């Protein structure tokens, strides 16, 4: 990365935004890797376990709009500080008071949704410091914080095995408090912040049919990524009898693959065109998920297919956001919030749906095939709008990229 990038913006703020986003995603996802231990102690059904891990995803999706408005009206830094204090307080209460019932776990999940809303704070905080030619790099670095899910998948089950899952909430406070201090000291608001967005701006954006297509596309890619990430610890435990620590390592491999490919997916979309890249990624994800749905006898084979699927979904996330600025260059802030919310809703439906289907049918086959079908539907939807996009807003981009 050339030196002009590091001179163009504010590096301490960029680092702070990444750290805040990374640790926020870690705790947003925390109930997923702990799901098996929590469900065993609280005697939860598979459906209850699925809803428990899905609750933070839905709460984070809805709160992205709230945090985005808060960042607009106060400032990204102030909104980030408020969000971090809420999450730290919630985890401290869970650690000291304890999670004794299913309802307590759901309440904690709702509070952890604030961490998932960090997307609406970290990205504007970082990107507002950088000129247009460096926006992609800045958002890519700040957005790489979704790798925090890998930390939770690797460490949470092991810590739970050693100290008990309730104490994992206490351990999580250490990096969160350090991050809060770093964020408070190093992060600065850009002097060139845009005017605050109003709720009317969101309603106006929803009147454009392309916004709904983008929301659907991202609900499949990011929804698939975060929904599977939350459901996989339970899946590997139920389907193959893996212990929570091993299931966490399996899940970490899948999540790492999806996180790694997000920025590379954007780069691929730059090279071959966003639509072409996204069509490829939907194909990979749908085929792999459908294959896993045949209830493979080998956990290693299932792991390999899930890793390939997550590679496709992660790259698809990057491809979607390579296309969004081309279509909504003037409404990028509003559309980022709406599309991000749709991704979270998709993740909630997938994680909760897999748990409900397993509860009522005895296995995950139908749930996996339904999700693979959504990937196919997204493929045909994207292919169907491609011609219209080529002849309207995307003509210049498609000519350049030969999509």
Least confident of 112-116, 158-162, 387-391: 387-391
Question: What pLDDT was estimated at residue 74?
Answer: 87
Poorest-confidence range of 69-83, 105-119, 201-215, 230-244? 201-215
Q: Give the tens place of pLDDT for each residue, 215-234.
A: 999 999 999 999 999 999 99
- Pick the more confident residue, 194 or 63: 63
Distance, in Å, from the CA atom of 100 to the CA atom of 44, rounded to the nearest integer, reads 12
The mean of the pLDDT values for the chain is: 87
The pLDDT value recorded for residue 376 is 95
Confidence grade of residue 339 (pLDDT, cut at 50, 70, 90)? confident
Q: What is the pLDDT of residues 270-280, one digit of tens each?
A: 788 788 889 99
Sorted by sequence, the CB contacts under 8 Å of residue 20 that are 6+ apart come out as 80, 84, 118, 121, 122, 145, 179, 183, 187
Q: Where does 164-298 have alpha helices with state H?
A: 165-186, 199-206, 209-240, 244-272, 274-292
Which residues, including other chains, have CB under 8 Å from residue 397's CB and lie 6 or more apart? 273, 274, 326, 403
Q: Which of 26-30, 265-269, 281-285 has the lowest mean pLDDT?
A: 265-269
What is the pLDDT, as a whole number, of residue 402?
46
Share of the chain above pLDDT 70, in %: 91
pLDDT at 2 (0 to 100):
53
Alpha-carbon distance of 362 to 358, in angstroms, equals 5
At residue 393, the pLDDT reads 54
**Is 164 a residue whose pLDDT tops 80?**
yes
Domains in the chain (CATH in brackets) are 14-179+198-396 (1.20.1250.20)
Provide the pLDDT for residue 398: 47
Q: Bigger pLDDT: 372 or 384?
A: 372
Find the mean pLDDT for residues 30-56: 94
What pLDDT score was predicted for residue 399?
A: 47
Lowest mean pLDDT among 60-74, 102-116, 127-141, 173-187: 127-141
| Spatial distance between the Cα atoms of 156 and 137, rounded to a whole number of angstroms | 31
**In whole angstroms, what is the distance from residue 265 CA to residue 217 CA?**
14
Which region among 3-7, 12-16, 119-123, 359-363 has the lowest average model confidence (pLDDT)?
3-7
pLDDT tens digits, one per residue of 188-207: 988 877 777 777 777 777 88
Band (403; pLDDT cuts 50, 70, 90): very low
Task: Report the share of the chain in percent with pLDDT over 90.
Answer: 58
Cα–Cα distance measured from residue 171 to residue 181, given in angstroms and rounded to the nearest whole number: 17
**pLDDT at residue 396 tops 60:** no
Q: 287-324 pLDDT, tens per residue?
A: 999 999 999 999 999 999 999 999 999 889 888 877 87
Span of 67-71, 134-138, 173-177 with lowest mean pLDDT: 134-138
What integer pLDDT is reported at residue 160 of this predicted model?
Answer: 94
Pairwise CA distance, residues 175 & 181, whole Å: 10
30 pLDDT more than 60: yes
Confidence bin at 365 (pLDDT 50/70/90)? very high
The Cα–Cα gap between 347 and 230 comes to: 9
Choice between 261 and 151, residue whose per-residue pLDDT is larger: 151
- 115/112 Cα distance (integer angstroms): 5
Q: Is the pLDDT of residue 92 over 60?
A: yes
pLDDT at residue 264, as a whole number? 77
């Amino acid at each position: 990365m050339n030196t002009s990038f590091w001179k163009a913006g504010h590096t301490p703020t960029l680092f702070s935004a990444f750290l805040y986003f990374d640790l926020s995603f870690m705790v947003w996802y925390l109930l997923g890797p702990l799901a098996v231990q929590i469900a065993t102690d609280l005697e939860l059904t598979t459906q209850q376990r699925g809803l428990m891990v899905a609750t933070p995803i839905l709460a984070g999706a809805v709160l992205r709009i709230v945090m985005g408005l808060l960042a607009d009206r106060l400032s990204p830094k102030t909104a980030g500080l408020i969000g971090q204090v809420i999450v730290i307080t919630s985890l401290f209460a869970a650690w000291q008071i304890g999670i004794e019932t299913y309802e307590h776990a759901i309440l904690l999940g709702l509070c952890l949704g604030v961490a998932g809303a960090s997307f609406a704070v970290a990205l504007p905080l970082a990107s507002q410091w950088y000129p247009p030619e460096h926006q992609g790099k800045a958002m890519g670095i700040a957005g790489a914080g979704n790798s925090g899910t890998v930390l939770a998948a690797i460490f949470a089950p092991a810590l739970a095995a050693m100290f008990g899952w309730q104490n994992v909430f206490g351990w999580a406070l250490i990096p969160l408090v350090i991050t809060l201090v770093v964020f408070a000291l190093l992060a600065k608001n850009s002097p060139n912040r845009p005017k605050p967005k109003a709720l009317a701006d969101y309603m106006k954006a929803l009147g454009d049919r392309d916004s709904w297509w983008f929301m659907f596309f991202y609900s499949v890619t990011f929804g698939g990524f975060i929904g599977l990430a939350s459901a996989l610890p339970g899946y590997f435990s139920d389907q193959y009898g893996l212990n929570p620590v091993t299931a966490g390592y399996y899940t970490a491999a899948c999540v790492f693959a999806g996180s790694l490919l997000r920025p590379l997916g954007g780069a691929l979309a730059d090279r071959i065109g966003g639509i072409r890249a996204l069509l490829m990624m939907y194909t990979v994800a749908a085929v792999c998920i459908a294959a896993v749905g045949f209830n493979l006898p080998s956990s290693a084979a299932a792991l390999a297919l899930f890793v390939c699927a997550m590679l496709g979904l992660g790259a698809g996330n990057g491809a979607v956001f390579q296309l969004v600025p081309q279509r909504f260059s003037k409404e990028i802030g509003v559309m980022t919030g709406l599309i991000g919310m749709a991704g979270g809703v998709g993740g909630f439906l997938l994680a909760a749906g897999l748990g409900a289907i397993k509860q009522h049918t005895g296995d995950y086959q139908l749930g996996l095939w339904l999700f693979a079908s959504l990937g196919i539907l997204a493929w045909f939807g994207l292919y169907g709008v491609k011609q219209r996009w080529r002849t309207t807003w995307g003509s210049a981009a498609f000519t350049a990229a030969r999509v």
